[in-house]
Amino acid sequence: MKLDRIDIKILYELQKNGRITNVELAELVNLSPSPCLMRVKKLQSEGYIDGYSAQINIGKLGQTLTVFTEITLKNHRQIDFARFLAAIDKVDQVIECHLVSGGYDYLLKFVTAGIGEYQTIMERLTDMDVGIDKYFSFVVLKSPIVKAHMPLTSLFRV
């Protein structure tokens, strides 16, 4: 499926507000409701839309700690990466994991109940011998800007 500027605009608006009505969405993308709904269904069936979810204000639920962690593996064979990822995938507190270039291998984002929970997780991971050589932790003090949407309209100008 080749996307056009209207498809990109639909995706952009849906990621900002997944609960928008079809009529409101159609108006924002300058379509009538029926063709807009057909495009949304096509985007869903083609896998451009993975699903819909609620954005939770975690701060309203209580204290949390966000930590970015740089991880360097001991070895760099495919099996080493796979073993590490299999272990990390089971840690619910890891909400992002990125393989990066540069001075370390992975950048992880943890959200935990506190520093004690984070340290327990890291000790468990190092004790499990999943290939971690070293890690550096960066505790988030404040997040003044967090965007839940991607800049689709500027990334994919069609």
Q: Report pLDDT digits (tens) over 128-156.
A: 999 999 999 999 999 999 998 999 989 99
Can you read off the two tokens belonging to residue 131?
A: 């290939």
Architecture of domain 5-54 in CATH? Answer: Orthogonal Bundle (1.10)
What would the pLDDT profile of 7-44 be if each residue is shown by its tens digit? 999 999 999 999 999 999 999 999 999 999 999 999 99
The pTM assigned to this predicted structure is 0.86
Q: Do domains 5-54 and 58-139 have the same CATH topology?
A: no
Q: How many residues does the chain have?
A: 158
Could you tell me the CA-to-CA distances from 4 to 22, 45, 136, 156 in Å, in that order? 19, 16, 43, 9
Domain boundary assignment for the chain: 5-54, 58-139
pLDDT grade, residue 157 (50/70/90)?
A: confident
User: According to CATH, what is the number of the domain 58-139?
Assistant: 3.30.70.920
